[in-house]
Amino acid sequence: MLVWFIIFIIICIFIAIISSIADNNRFIVSDHELTSDKIKKDCTIAFLSDLHSNSFGKGNIKLIEAVKASKPDIIIMGGDMVTSIAGETEEKRMDIAVNLTKALSDYRIYYGIGNHEYRMFLYREDFEDNFDILMRRLKENGVHVLRNEKEHIDEFNIDIQGLEIERRYYKRGIKVIMEDDYLTSLIDKPDPESYKILMAHNPEFFEQYAKVADLVLSGHFHGGIVRLPFVGGVISSRLSLFPKYDGGRYDGYGAAMIVSKGLGSHTIPLRVFNPCELCVIKLKKI
């Protein structure tokens, strides 16, 4: 019996390794549709998150072609497009994400701040001026970086708000509560007449986000890293088991949230039964 159990464990590990290699190097396209009477004109959004300097083909050609094939009106990059690892070269940390924005510069691109970008900003003794370099290079490519800032797109009557939260809201292994007045201290008062999109990297605080948004775009949890049938994601980036918002669309609190399963991984490159994901969101007027 023990021998068969060991054989079973070895087979499971082998399957996990093969799946992880495959799922780190492929992506699926997930389609989402939402309707609102606030939308002035139909709008297609290509939503990318958690690239972590991953590349699909030379120069990310497969990802670029998939984004272009979706015919987006705007592109939203929801944070952690780079990985913050102290001691890495500037080229390795930034070039893949920056070159991706350059290749897609014909489109209007909005960029939100994830925990990895924020870490580069916060710990300058480790990362020196690399955050500033990243921001400059993105803006040179025409990217709209929104750090607790809002832009209105009159063509669609959409407000896009970027949310940058403190590092304590990303702490691992502990339950963190977001205070009711925290968001209002960071962002502009929402316009009730506009359709409000909030780029909020960590999906855990959906109930708070819903108070200021019609649609929340998040990532961070990488789809739960390991996905099981009928269960979903197993572990979050904060090391909590079976996260509530591991990936996909969620409706509640008077809003919707789409959580990307991400386009990469970091530190331990593990994705089991969990391919990377490009989200295509169609906003329809009614």
Per-residue model confidence as pLDDT tens digits over 133-174: 999 999 999 999 999 999 999 999 999 999 999 999 998 877
Listed as ranges, residues in the chain with pLDDT below 50 are none
Q: What is the dihedral of CA 114, 115, 117, 119, to 10 degrees?
A: 160
Q: What number of other Cβ atoms are within 10 A of residue 91's Cβ?
A: 9
Residue 25, amino acid: N
Helix or strand holding residue 92 (H, E): helix 90-103
Q: How far is CA 127 from CA 139, 171, 204, in A?
A: 20, 20, 27
Sign of the dihedral through C-alpha 268, 272, 278, 284: negative
Q: What's the pLDDT at 139?
A: 96
pLDDT of residue 232: 86
Domains of the chain: 2-285 (3.60.21.10)
Give the model's pLDDT for residue 10.
Answer: 63
pLDDT value of residue 170? 92
Give me the sign of the Cα torsion angle 183, 185, 186, 188: positive
Residue 252 to residues 16, 112, 195, 216: CA-CA distances in angstroms?
34, 23, 16, 11
Cα–chain center distance at 117:
12
Percentage helix, strand, coil, to 5, in the chain?
30, 25, 45
Residues 6+ apart with CB under 8 A from 94: 53, 82, 130, 133, 134, 137
